[in-house]
Amino acid sequence: MDLNFTPEELAFRQEVREFVASSLPPDIQHKVLNGLILQSDDYIRWQKILHAKGWGGASWRKDFGGPGWSATQQYIFEEECAAAGAPRTIPFGLKMVAPVIMQYGSPAQQERFLPKILAAEEWWCQGYSEPGAGSDLASVKTRAVREGDHYVVNGQKTWTTQGQYADWIFCLVRTDTEAKSQRGISFILIDMKTPGITVRPIITMDGAHEVNEVWFEDVRVPVENLVGEENAGWTYAKFLLGHERTNIAGIGIAKREIARLKRIASLETKNRKPLIEDPMFASRIAQIEIDLTALEITNLRVLSAEAERRAPGPEASILKIKGTEIQQAITEALVQAVGTYALPLRREAMAAGYQGDAVGPFYATPLAANYLNMRKLSIYGGSNEIQKNIISQMILGL
């Protein structure tokens, strides 16, 4: 057994680190490292920089324009990007719909969509959830009725992250109402500019506009936008849900945020000494860091067990639960670190370049909003309860 990366992997890490250090725009880095609000353009700019280097699709195969990296290389890449303060890659195009199109899409679809995803020319969003279909995704009701060479789509999607920026949405729709729930579902790609689509904002408790409702009223979608076979969408949906595994634990992000926590805890004081020297607070940080170490090794075990690329097993659920718990614990500790100054909730002051009144230390400004926002981690992408159901069924056979 060897817990060390190979010399090649270390050299790769060095290469990534140097590239990110020299290419990440400082203004974007400043926002990420300080928890300030990012604009859609920040994500697009960074993606274009990566694309120019040939690293746009970290998880993509070479024949589709990716770098063809191993799972470990992808892991290292994500970790280095996160540590340096790069924004997350926008997952909906790159990591969700693209793998489905690569695996099940027609050559025409691959040619039409993949290059634009890689070049950040088209923004995607995910249309899975509906008001009545959350954890029980197979109960989606949005209807798509075939009329000649179009599907006519009616229904409502919800919780659509960044749908307000999206050019395209990939949707689960019901194409057969007679079949048992999983069977009558299809996977289609819809141009957000099609008449009949309405996007309405949902404001979350931190005051952010990140999620939306999307309404479809007699939306006409060409049949060539169906991916794979009609009524076989559930297979593709499951493939997609389980696909992105190298970064599901968010190790890189957690490491970066722990570094921030330590920085803040050394600036804050308790009884006129640095907070980080307080045994109680220090042990709180230590506990989080130790949990993260355990998760990191678990994550690496999962990666190395993956000889070849296949849809991930139930281990992904372990990574998701622990990863989100750790990230949430960090946001809690950050709030505790600044005490009363976590209470002001001032979104305007979370914009880069804010010039208004200062309240409390600069680093305290986004912490409450961040804590509130991160409650979503244990809810979306298959809630942590659902992940536990998966563990008990798939790992324990219960």
The contact set with another protein (CB under 8 A) reads: 129, 132, 134-136, 139, 158-159, 202-205, 207, 211, 269-272, 280-281, 284, 332, 335-336, 339-346, 357, 359-360, 368, 371-372, 375-376, 378-380, 383-385, 388-389
Amino acid found at 101 = I
β-pair partners for 274:
269
Contact 234, 242 (CB under 8 A): no
- Is residue 389 at the binding interface for ligand FAD, with CB under 6 A as the rule? yes
Closest by CA to 144, choosing from 169, 173, 168, is: 173
CB atoms within 10 A of CB 393: 11
Closest distance to another protein from the beta carbon of 253 (Å): 19
Identify residues 153-172 at the interface with ligand FAD (CB under 6 A): 159-161
Helix (H) / strand (E) element for 168: namely strand 168-174
Q: Which is nearer to another protein, 74 or 387 (CB)?
A: 387
CB atoms within 10 A of CB 50: 25
- 390 contact choice in another protein, ligand FAD, none (CB below 5 to 8 Å, kind-dependent): none
Closest by CA to 168, choosing from 225, 218, 237, 102, is: 225
Q: Which is nearer to ligand FAD, 29 or 129 (CB)?
A: 129
Q: Which is nearer to another protein, 301 or 388 (CB)?
A: 388
Closest distance to another protein from the beta carbon of 267 (Å): 12
Residue 238: C-alpha distances to residues 109, 266, 388, 398 (Å) = 20, 45, 17, 21
Q: Catalytic residue, from 78, 79, 130, 244: name it.
A: 244
Identify residues 128-147 at the interface with ligand FAD (CB under 6 A): 128-129, 134-135
Helix (H, G, I), strand (E, B) or coil at 280: helix
- Is residue 240 at the binding interface for ligand FAD, with CB under 6 A as the rule? no
- Tokens coding 217: 């009223």
Q: Which is nearer to ligand FAD, 298 or 389 (CB)?
A: 389
- Is residue 126 at the binding interface for ligand FAD, with CB under 6 A as the rule? yes
- Is residue 120 at the binding interface for ligand FAD, with CB under 6 A as the rule? no
- 346 contact choice in another protein, ligand FAD, none (CB below 5 to 8 Å, kind-dependent): another protein
- Tokens coding 69: 């990296």
Identify residues 177-236 at the interface with ligand FAD (CB under 6 A): 211
Return the DSSP state at 375: G
CA dihedral 191→192→193→198, nearest 10 degrees, is 140
- Helix extents (H) in 351-390: 367-373, 384-390
Residues 6+ apart with CB under 8 A from 373: 204, 206, 208, 210
Is 306 assigned a catalytic role? no
- Comparing every residue's Cβ against ligand FAD, the nearest one is 134
Q: Which is nearer to another protein, 24 or 334 (CB)?
A: 334
Binding site for ligand FAD (CB under 6 A): 125-129, 134-135, 159-161, 211, 376, 379-380, 383, 385-386, 389
Q: Which of the residues are catalytic?
A: 244
